[in-house]
Chain A
Amino acid sequence: MNAVGGIAGTLGRRRIPLGLRFLLISIVSASLMLLDHREEHLSRIRQAFSILVYPIQVAVDLPFTGLRWAARVLSDQTALLEENARLKSERLDVNVRLQRLEALGAENNRLRAMLDSSARVSDRVLVVEILAVDLAPYRQRFTINRGLNDDVYVGQALLDASGVVGQIAHVDLFTSEAVLISDPDHALPVAVNRNGLRTIVVGTGDSSRLRLPYLTNSADIEPGDLLVSSGLGGVFPSGYPVGRVLEVHRQPGQPFAQVIAEPAAQLDRDREVLLVWTAEDAADGYGSTNAVETP
């Protein structure tokens, strides 16, 4: 690409003066930006470029993957045995909880059947890896190693072991870019687990803080309340933990309370995340960002 650019540059230089070429290329850049800003006109072109830069991303990620691989290979037996024992006890613990959950799920389905509402189908998930690639440090975004090839779609939800992580913003052929829930441009409909109060969680740009700007002073919310995804936006499946309320400031003069929450997911420490295909998407075959989730 660069070589071609260089050759074309040397060929073009003879005919068109430098200043004019600068002007032309600037106009091309500006029109590209205009088109790109007006959403998704350029997704094809972006995907083509992403194939060209994919080798660079892989090359940068490779040493980190290699290091982790080496650490795994070279870890000694006692450490492995310890980890094994720990995992076994964890599994036992989780299994016990799962038994209870299964009974509860069955009961829930029975009750739903009595109420004549559709039973919830379980969601399909896929473990994906985050590429060790730094995007601009001030943007709460990351790249994952799955793309169009694996039916990833824009707006798809990402979870980790402890809560909601974010959603997919761009899909390329082999990789996708995800927005964390802590991105300032990200909003997520949630419900307070204690009383079902619905509101919206907005990112702050700090991966350990979330904001709830739309709660009135009289809203029933307290520090320690668990926020779960409400599923109202149609993007995130409902019922997954999003965060816990840290501080509530009520100022009598202001119409809204200042509520700060801490994300449940480990946004800055994750290496692997779960991609979720919700049951509705499976029914559609392909998800859309504004699909309305059935209650």
Chain B
Amino acid sequence: MMREGGGRRHLLLVSLVSALALAIVPLPTALAPYRPAWVPLVLIFWALMAPERVGLLTAFAMGLALDTLSGALLGQHALAMVTVVYLSIRFHLLIRVFPVWQLSTIVFLLLAIYEFALFWIDGVVGRSVPIIERWAPVVSGALVWPLVLGYLASVRQDTQTRI
């Protein structure tokens, strides 16, 4: 029991750090606006599949890390992230039984809420962001969601059966 928890926590940590790294890896200029929002995607996965492992404080910490990395207002990504993870945890029993394409739709909505929170805060502070850069990550995020889901679920299964 103890070792199983350790293995899963390890995977959780690795997936979160990888998501942060993916969020800042330089992409070709043409692709850069379509970078999926990796950190909320991974957090949504954990919030749906293992809400006992990922809490609001984890989301808060990840949001602050993203704020620091991207030079945004401290707390901006944190607030958006906490909102999305709260919704995911609150409704995880309802959502996680959906088939993949319905899950993608839900993820699309969650990411839209995430981006809207960022957009709203940017508006209050007075930073303007081009429209495509703002909403493209929502679409690309929903599109890569099945991959994230499949990959993390399979890795997670592995660690659970192995230990």
Beta-carbon contact of B82 and A29 below 8 Å: yes
Number of interface residues of A (CB under 8 A): 54
Beta-carbon contact of B73 and A57 below 8 Å: no
**Contact A25/B57 with A52-B65, A53-B69, A60-B21 known, Cβ cut-off 8 Å:** yes
Beta-carbon contact of B54 and A6 below 8 Å: yes
Number of interface residues of B (CB under 8 A): 52
Beta-carbon contact of A12 and B74 below 8 Å: no
User: What chain A residues lie within 8 Å of B127 (beta carbons)?
Assistant: 185
**Contact A56/B35 with A18-B90, A32-B78 known, Cβ cut-off 8 Å:** no
Beta-carbon contact of B13 and A33 below 8 Å: no
**A91 part of interface (Cβ distance < 8 Å):** no
Beta-carbon contact of B68 and A46 below 8 Å: yes
C-alpha gap A18/B125 in the complex (Å): 29
* Complex interface: stretch among A100-108, A130-138, A147-155: A130-138
**A224 part of interface (Cβ distance < 8 Å):** no
C-alpha gap A6/B83 in the complex (Å): 17
User: What chain B residues lie within 8 Å of A8 (beta carbons)?
Assistant: 55, 57
Cross-interface CB contact of B61 among A1, A170, A268, cutoff 8 Å: A1
**Contact A10/B52 with A33-B79, A49-B68 known, Cβ cut-off 8 Å:** yes
**B70 part of interface (Cβ distance < 8 Å):** yes
Interface string of B75-90 (1 = CB under 8 A from A): 1101100110010011
C-alpha gap A10/B55 in the complex (Å): 7
**B40 part of interface (Cβ distance < 8 Å):** no
* Complex interface: stretch among B93-101, B105-113, B128-136, B141-149: B128-136
**Contact A56/B60 with A18-B86, A32-B74, A33-B79 known, Cβ cut-off 8 Å:** no
Cross-interface CB contact of B70 among A21, A25, A37, A135, cutoff 8 Å: A135
Would you list which residues of chain A between 20 and 43 have a CB under 8 Å from chain B? Answer: 21-22, 25-26, 28-33, 35-37, 42
Q: A49-B67, A53-B65, A53-B68 are in contact. List 19 more A-B contacts (CB 8 A).
A: A2-B13, A2-B61, A5-B55, A6-B53, A6-B54, A8-B55, A10-B53, A13-B55, A26-B82, A30-B75, A60-B21, A133-B24, A133-B26, A134-B27, A135-B69, A136-B72, A137-B29, A138-B33, A138-B129
Residues on A lying within 8 angstroms of B by beta carbon are 1-6, 8-10, 12-13, 18-19, 21-22, 25-26, 28-33, 35-37, 42, 45-46, 49-50, 52-53, 56-57, 59-60, 64, 132-139, 141, 169-170, 177, 184-185, 205, 268
